[in-house]
Chains A and B, each alone.
Chain A
Amino acid sequence: MFVGPAVISLAVIGIAPLIYAAYTSFHFFNLTKLKHVEFIGLQNYAFVLTDGVFWQAIGRTFTVLGMALPVQVALGLVIALVLHQPGLTLLKTLARLGLVLPMATTYAVVGLLGQVMFNQKFGVVNQLIGFLGVDPVNWIGNSFNAFAMVIFWDVWQWTPFVALILLAGLTTVPGEIEEAAKLETKSWLTVLRYVQLPFLVPGLVAILILRTADTLKLFDMVFTLTRGGPGSSTELISLMIQRVGFRAFDQGLASAQAIILLAITIVLSQLYIKFFYREV
C-alpha cells in the first residue's frame, strides 16, 4: 500500500512514455505529418543502425566520457588526498563548500558561461591570454577546440563530485590501519595503492556508472555552448535525438534512436556489474 503512489507515478512518468516511444518507433510518425502515420515495422531501426551519423554521435559521446572521466578521477583524487590531510580545518571546510558550486550550477548556465567566457572577440579568456601575448583563439568556431571545450566544462563541473565521493571513501579507511601503514613506509603511493585504494573502489564504481549515465544524457550544457556545432563536431547522441525528434519532427525515428540507446545502456550496465560489482 505504501509503495502504491510510487509505483503509479513510475508507471505514468516512466513506463507509459517508454511504451509509447516503442510504439512510435515502429511507425512513420512525424509531428508535421500526423495525417500519414503508418506502421513501417523495423524500417526506423534499420535506418538508425546503418546511419553513419548516428554512430558518429555515439562515438563522440563515448569519446567525451573516455577523455573526461580519467581527468576527473585523477584531479578528483588529488583534491581528495589534499583535503584528507590533517589540519587547516576551516580552510578545508571552505574548500569543500567551494567544491559544491560547480555541481550546483545548472548545465545550461555552464554552457552559456562558456559561450561568454570563450567568445573569440569579447571573451575574458582570450583577453587573459592576450596579456601573455597569445593571439585570440577561436574556441567555439573550430571543430577541435569546440569538442575540447565540451570536455573542459564537463571536467570543471564534475571533478568536484568525483573528489567528494573519493574523499568520503578516504574517510572510511580505519585510522589505525592508515597510521600503521604510514609507520611502515614513507611512500604515500604505497599507502594509497595498498591501504586506501581498496576502500575507494566502491566509490570509483559508483562514479563510473553515474558519469556514464550522465554523459549519455548530457544535453543542456552542449546545447547552450555549441548547439552541436560547428558542423556536427559536438553533436552528442542526446543532441542528435532531440534534433531529429523536435527539429525535424520525426518522432518515429527519434524513438528508434532512443530505444537503441537504451539497449546500449542496458548492455553497458550489465558489463559494469559483471566486471566491477563482484569485486567490490
Chain B
Amino acid sequence: MKLKSLARSLALATALTFGSMSGGHAWSLEEAAKPYAGTTVDVVFLLRPGYEAIEAMLPEFEKQTGIKINIIKHPYENALGEQVRDFVAGGDLDAALIDLVWIGNFAENDWVVPIDKFTSNAELADPELDMDDFFPLVLNAFGGWNGKLYGLPLDNYSGLLFYNKCMLKEAGFDGPPKTWQELKDVYGPKLTGNGKFAYALQSKRNETQSADSFARVLWPFGGSFLDKDFKSNLLSPESQAGLKFRQELLPIMPEGIVAYDHAETVNGFAQGDIAMITEWSAFYSSVKDSKTSKVADCVGIAPEPSGPAGRKPALGGFSLAVASQADEKEQAAAYLFIQWATSKANAKEYLERGGVPARKSVYELPGIAEKFDFVPALVESWQDGVPEFRPRFAEWPEITEIVQEWGTKIMLGEVSTEEGAKELGTRMEAVLEKAGYYDGKKPLAQ
C-alpha cells in the first residue's frame, strides 16, 4: 500500500515537474485570468434562451477567474441602437454582441478588435480553442468580415421547419413537406380550416419582415437582394417568383400575419392552431417544453423546405467580439469570457441549458442527436446556407428599414410585387450609391 502511494506521488511529482518545464506551464483559465481578476466586462445580452443558458453557467466562470460579467439585457429590436450609441459615445461596453447583419457595420467602424490579437497571444489563447471545430459557414458569416475574423459565434440559428406531427398525421401525411410548393399546394388546403392554419410566416414590420419573411422567399426561388454589380435584383424573374409565392401563401396563414412576430408565431404553433412554422432553431426549447407548449409531444423538426434553387434556409445568429473602446485589461478579460462561452468544453452544457452552440464536435457526441431532435436538421442546414442571406454590409440597417416598409406593403396588397420591388430597388440603390459602392470607393462585399 505504502509503496503504491509513494509510487503514485512520485509519478505525480514527476509529471508536474516535467509538465512545467516543458513549454513553461500548461494553460489554464485560472492562470490566464489572474492578472484580470476584479475586472468587470460589460456586455449586451438578448432576452432569448441562448443567453439565459450562458447566464446560468456564468457563476462558474466568475468563480474561476474573478472576472465580473455585467450583463445588460435588451430585446433584439433595441440591441443594435443601444450598442451603436454606446460605441459612438465611447461608452462602457467591453464586448460587442453582433448579429450577422451588423458585422460589416461594427468592423468598418473599428468598434471591434480582430480576434487574432488575442488568439495569437499565448497567455490568453486556450490551446483547446480549435477554430476548425466551428461550423465554417457560421464562423465566417457571424464573426468574419472582409477576410478578417472579429467574433466567435455564440447564439446560433438556422431556420428550421417545425411541424405538428399529430396534425399532419390526422390529415393523412406521414412526414413534413419537402418543397415549398408541396407545403402550399398539398399540405396547405388539407390543414387549413376550422380556425386552424397550415402555416404561419412571421412577418411583423421589423427585422422579422426582412429576415424571416422577405429573404426567406427570395433565396429558395433563386432570387437575391443584389446582383453581382450590387444593383437591385428584386425585379428578376426568380426574386419575383419568390415574392409572388409569399402572396400565394396568405390563404393558408392566419389573417393579420403582418402583425405576427416570433412570439405570436411560436405561440400559435405551441397552442396547436398552426401546423407548420419556419422558425429559428433557438425556439426549440420553448415548443418542446410542456409548460409553454400544448403540443410538446407532437413537435417534429425538419430542414426548411426546398425551392427551385435549393434549400437555402434562413441563417441568423450572433457572435461576441472584443470592443475596441475597452482598455487592455478589459479587452483581455472580455476575450477570456468570449473564449470560455464559445468553447468546445462548454458546448454540451450550453446545449443542455437551451443554447445552440456552433461547435461541430458537440453534435457528434453520442446521444445528442437523439436527445435534441433538431440537431440533424440544424447540421444539414448549416451545410447549405447562404452567408449573405441578408447582406452583412454597413448599409443593412438603412436597407432593412426599406425592406420592412415595402415588404409589408406588398404583403398587404397595397402595391403589387413588381411595384414594391421597383420602389424598394430604387431606394436600396440610392443608399448604396451614397455609400460609394458604384464609384468604386467601396469594395462590393456583402
Question: What is A's interface to B at a CB cutoff of 8 Å?
Answer: 28, 30-35, 53, 120-121, 138, 140-143, 146, 226-232, 243-244, 246-250
A141 touches B394 (CB 8 A): no
- Complex partner residue of A232 from B398, B405, B434, CB under 8 angstroms: B405
A229-B408, A231-B405, A248-B397 known; A31+B88 contact, CB < 8 A: yes
Which chain B residue has the least Cβ–Cβ distance from A232? B405
Interface pairs (9), CB distance under 8 Å: A32-B105, A32-B397, A53-B405, A226-B259, A227-B204, A227-B205, A231-B258, A247-B401, A249-B84
Residues of chain B from 1 to 56 with CB closer than 8 A to chain A in the complex? none
CA distance A32 to B84 in the complex (A): 7
Which of chain A's residues have a CB closer than 8 A to the CB of B414? 143, 231
Residues of A within 8 A of B412 (CB): 143, 230-231
- Chain A residues within an 8 Å CB radius of B256: 120, 138, 140-142, 230
Which of A31, A35, A231 is the most central at the interface, judged by chain B CB atoms within 10 Å of its CB?
Answer: A231
Q: Which of B85, B109, B255 contacts A120 (CB 8 A)?
A: B255
Counting from the closest, the 7 A-B pairs by CB-CB distance are: A141-B256, A141-B259, A229-B205, A138-B256, A230-B258, A231-B408, A248-B398
Closest-CB distance, B351 to chain A (whole angstroms): 32
B81 at the interface (CB under 8 A from A): yes
- Interface-central residue, B84, B256, B257, B409, by most chain A CB under 10 Å: B256
Contact of A32 among B109, B254, B257 (CB under 8 A): B109
Closest to A119 in B: B264
Q: Is the CB of B81 within 8 A of A246?
A: yes
* A138 adjacent to B408 (CB under 8 Å): no
Number of residues on chain B facing chain A (CB within 8 A): 29
Cα A231 to Cα B394 in complex, Å, equals: 24
Q: Report the minimal beta-carbon distance from B160 to chain A, rounded to whole angstroms.
A: 24
Q: Report B410-433 residues with CB < 8 Å from chain A CB.
A: 412, 414
Q: Quote the shortest CB–CB distance from A56 to chain B (angstroms).
A: 11
Q: Which residues on the B side are within 8 Å of A230 (C-beta)?
A: 205, 256, 258-259, 408, 412
A33 and B81 contact, Cβ closer than 8 Å, known pairs A143-B412, A227-B206, A231-B205: no
Q: Report the nearest A residue to B412, measured CB to CB.
A: A231
> CA A204 – CA B401 in complex, angstroms?
40
B88 close to A34 (CB less than 8 A): yes
- Our pick among B84, B206, B268 for the contact of A121 (Cβ within 8 Å) is B268
**B238-283 contacts to A (CB < 8 Å):** 254-260, 268, 273
